[in-house]
Each structure stands twice: as structure tokens, then as C-alpha cells.
Structure 1
């Protein structure tokens, strides 16, 4: 599932009242006895579902889904398309999160089509658009109490040497970080595997850029799905880049679905993160392996199993 599909999905959810959220969560779903016993318990790590992941169990409204997520023990959400939601919707989401004591994970700072509008080119118009969106992101972050926002530098500029492209990205990220530092918002750059034209592809590459930008508002988003596809060696590379990693995302490979659906041993990874004392959010940026309510129940079960590492 590509990022743009997540962004499209994020804009489709409607809103309902907060009271309706509780009712929907109570009436749309049923578990077996073991799952009922676990349902209200929090997890050992802080996993964050996204809009649409529990629409069959919680309802079409994102607010209803958030209430359902809370009732199942999740304590964070993430929403790539938050900046595309209107102000009133953002404020309602922020109020519900505050009421439930939940955290907001990442949203995407999207300067147009930020896959193809590439910061690697060094063109001033792209840099200006990026800085402008960083300023707008601050307002979104305030409404939902967000601490992190995803950025990607875009495509390779194939008529420029790699070192020059890297310098252009560093320059643009320094400018963006200068804006975000004022309000404590952290942009997390995400190396991706979606296609070979993307400039930022590894955690090590991102690590070097973070060191060059040298800002508390410029860190790494370590997406385990993408890193398995691009490099593997997940835990050692994570450890090497640890001091610049601020956010982690989840997705099994192949298929980009929940843990236990593919080849990645997520129980070992979660155990490693717990031992390291990771207190941040792990965004569930993946699809459901199976459809309907049954698929959503299976997804929760997979997280319960993978989180059972103590």
C-alpha cells in the first residue's frame, strides 16, 4: 500500500459527535472470551492505528474509530492526511484525543506532490513551497497536539551528482527545521522503497543528512517495512542510527499488512525496542491482511501476540 493511497483514504472519513463514538464502539463489534479479557488492556509498546483500519468495527467516522481504538487498548493514532482535513475536523479530533488521553502520531507535510516536486533539484520554488508547508503544519500540529510530521525529499535529480543533490536536501531541511524548531514540531524524514526513483532510501543515508542538518527538529522515521525491502539487517541498522530515530512505523513484508502476515519477526523487534527503552509511537502504516470485522479482529490478535514478549 503506497503513501498516496493512505492520503486518499484519510480524506474520505466523515465526522460524528463524540457521544456517537462511544455508542458505535459498543455496538459494532464482538470478541471471543480471550479477546474480551485483553480488549481494555494497553500494550507494552505504543502502537498507533490509522483512519479506516477499524471502519467495520468502529464505524465510518474517524472519531468513532478512535474511540474503538481506545477501547481495544491503543493509545495513539497517526493520520497522514491530517493537513487535508478542514480546521473544524482537526479540532474535533484533537479534543477527542485529549479527552481519551491519546497521542497524535505523524501526519505528512505535503508540499504539493512531494514525491515528484523534488528538493534534490535545488530549485528555489520547491524549497519555498516546502518552507511554506512547514509553517502551515505548525497550525495543524497545534490543533491535534502533534509532535512529529513526516517529510520526504522527493525524486532523484538525475542530471546532478549525488553529493550535490544531498547538499540541496540538507539546505532545504535546515530551512524547514528552522521554522519547526520554534514550536517544537519534529519533521521525521522517511526513506522509502515504493519505487527506484526516490532519492531517500536507507536509514544510513537519512542519518548522515540528520547529522548535517543538526537540528532537534530533523530526525528519522524508521519504517520497518521499507527498510526490510531496501536493506534488511533491521535491528543492527536501527541500533547504528538510534540517536537520530524519533519515530517508527510497522508493516510486514511481503504485502505491507499487520505483523505475523509476512516474513518479519516483529515479536523480536518489539522486544528489542522495549529493552532499549523506546517510549515513542509505532505507527501502524499498513493494511489489513483480511477484510471485514473478522480481519480487524485478526489484526488486533496479531498485535496482542507480537506484543507478548515480556
Structure 2
């Protein structure tokens, strides 16, 4: 699944919702003790809609009742301000950590940061400034940034320098607020500038700011480079956020080739206390498919 389609689908699921929905699930207290996960897995809107409906608040409450301690929402910046505020309040009430949202127009194939063009930089910096306000409403710390595509007419070293200089400017916006843009290498297209963990590590070292780190998406990096534990170890001091998806298919753990139990055990032993975003689809439809996602995480998290 391409990232653009994945984000658009997620936004369509929750972006048009208002606060006027029926809060039937939220009004019904859960009497079953929540599962205690070892790591902070973060579902997204739409993942459990067959259990509780499409209302975002009901969905967040359901996630919390299942034991999930975090939540992520790629399309948060596109949501109504009142809904953003309500979601932030609900997360705080349930003791859940807000994971990433995508910086709107933070860098895409239409305004690649590798080109070094002022108009593209201005679009990126405007997105960063608006992201700060959204982060305040939902108590977020991390925002996803994808620098865009290659600028094929320029030498790669010049492209690297252009990206680093643009991200330094973004870091100047985020750093005073204690916020972190996390750079995500992707496998969706050979035209994407950022594709590997070592390349992203180099970029972060060049920016040299606590506001610029790596989003290590296990699904994408299994496709582009493999050797997951080895490569995470090499770049670990710059990794601030992790995302999940099995390969092939980009569905929940246990549906593909990745040994998630071993990967999660290694991450836990590294002392990682951050968020692991569940940025994948469900392998099966309906309530049964949603329960299969929950059961899969219980299975691969049982590494103690």
C-alpha cells in the first residue's frame, strides 16, 4: 500500500467526523482489566471501527480499554480544531501518549527539499509552524517529515546539503517547543529521496539537533534493506520513533515474514520507552479481523 493512499484512507475515515456523534461506547464503562503490553503500541483511527463505530473518541477509548498506551494519527493536521482538542483531552484522560502526525505539506513529490528552492522551503516551514499549534492541542511530541523526491538534475551531495539546510530551519521552529520531526525513509517509489536508514542517520547527524531524528518504519526498511536488528543497532542513537507493518502486505505482525517477537524483544532490551505506531491495515475484515490484530500484538509482545 502506498503511503499516500494509506494516509488518505485514514483521513477519510476520521477527518470528516464531528463532535456530534453518539458517544455510546465512551459512556459504557469497561469492567475487564486491560492487557498489559510491554511496549507502547499505537493504533490509528479506523483500526477498530467495527467494534465501536466511526466516532474518534469512542475509538480512542476502545484502544485504551484493550491496553494500548499510545495513539497515532497521520491526518491530525487536517482535522477540525475542536476535534483535535477533544482527542487531546481524551488521550490525556486515558493516560495515552500521542504519537506522530504528518506535517502537512512538509515535503512531498511536488515540493522536494532536495531541490533547494526557496518556494519549497517556505511551504515546508509554514507546515512546521502550523504543526506546533496542532501539537499543543493534542500534546504531541513527534511529527513525521518526508523530504520528498530526488532532484535528478543535481549531484547527490548537493541534494544532501539542500535537505540538511532545510531541516535545520525546521528544527529551529520545533526545538524551542521540545518537539521532534522524525524523518521517515520509505519504500514506495525509487523517486523518493529518503529510502535507507544509514542515509537518514547521515542527514540527522548533519542537522545536529534534538528536533531531528529517525522514524524507523520496520515495514518499509524490511523492503529496502532488511537486516532490521543490525541496522537499528547501527542507527539507534538517532531513532526516536518506530512504526510497524509486516511484509508482504503491510498488515499486522504474524501475517508476513518478519519475526516481530524477536524484533520487539530486542527493542525492549534496548530500553526503548517511545511509541511504536501500528501503521498497517488489518489482514481480515470485520470484528474478527480487528480481534485478530489485538491477538497478534498479544502474541508477539509475549517475549518476557
Match of 2:184 in 1: 190
Match of 1:148 in 2: 142
Closer, same or farther: CA 25–7 of 1 in aligned 2, 3 Å: farther
Match of 1:6 in 2: 6
Task: Give the distance between the partners of 1:125 and 1:234, measured in 2 at CA.
Answer: 37
How far is the alpha carbon of 1:112 from its aligned partner? 6.9
How far is the alpha carbon of 1:172 from its aligned partner? 0.3
Query: Which TM-score applies when normalising by structure 1?
Result: 0.93
Task: Give the distance between the partners of 2:2 and 2:223, measured in 1 at CA.
Answer: 14
Is 1:163 the counterpart of 2:157? The answer is yes
Match of 1:32 in 2: none
User: Is the 1:115–1:152 Cα contact (8 Å) retained in structure 2?
Assistant: no
Match of 1:30 in 2: none
How far is the alpha carbon of 1:11 from its aligned partner? 2.7
User: Is the 2:23–2:55 Cα contact (8 Å) retained in structure 1?
Assistant: no
Closer, same or farther: CA 25–236 of 1 in aligned 2, 3 Å: farther
Match of 2:128 in 1: 134
How far is the alpha carbon of 1:117 from its aligned partner? 1.5
Q: How does 1:258-277 map to 2 (within 5 A)?
A: 258-277=252-271
User: Is the 2:106–2:145 Cα contact (8 Å) retained in structure 1?
Assistant: no
Describe the superposition over 1:195-216 as per-residue Cα deviations: whole angstroms up to 9, x where unpaired.
1110000010000010010000
Match of 1:235 in 2: 229
Match of 1:81 in 2: 75
Secondary structure in 2 matching 1:22: coil
Match of 1:284 in 2: 278
Match 1:64 to one of 53, 58, 66: 58
Aligned residues: 300
Match 1:22 to one of 26, 36, 39: 26
Match 2:296 to one of 299, 302, 306: 302
Closer, same or farther: CA 259–24 of 1 in aligned 2, 3 Å: farther
Describe the superposition over 1:210-234 as per-residue Cα deviations: whole angstroms up to 9, x where unpaired.
0010000000000000000000000
Task: Give the distance between the partners of 2:8 and 2:152, measured in 1 at CA.
Answer: 29
How far is the alpha carbon of 1:23 from its aligned partner? 4.1
Q: Which runs of 5+ in 2 are unaligned?
A: none
How far is the alpha carbon of 1:21 from its aligned partner? 3.6
Query: Which TM-score applies when normalising by structure 2?
Result: 0.95
How far is the alpha carbon of 1:110 from its aligned partner? 2.1
How far is the alpha carbon of 1:113 from its aligned partner? 6.8
Q: Which runs of 5+ in 1 are unaligned?
A: 27-35
Describe the superposition over 1:89-148 as per-residue Cα deviations: whole angstroms up to 9, x where unpaired.
100100101111111000000217723320000000001111111010000000000000
